[in-house]
Amino acid sequence: MSARAVPVAGVTLAEAADAFLARRDLDTDTLRSYGQTMRRLRREFGDPLPWPR
């Protein structure tokens, strides 16, 4: 079983990324830039990756 297949408790990378990108204080260019970075991180590490608080 791979590390990605193990269920995790708490906040995941996907949840943290979505919450960050939902902020209203980010302008369009910042959202585009961070959105690209978050997509790359999510693709590389997987959405279920536990995210430290």
pLDDT tens for the 53 residues of the chain, in order: 445 555 556 899 999 999 999 999 999 999 999 999 999 999 999 999 998 87
| 50 beta partners | 12
Tell me the C-alpha distance between 31 and 37, whole Å: 10
Whether pTM > 0.85 for this model: the answer is: no
pLDDT, position 1: 41
Tell me the C-alpha distance between 51 and 47, whole Å: 10
| 34 beta partners | none
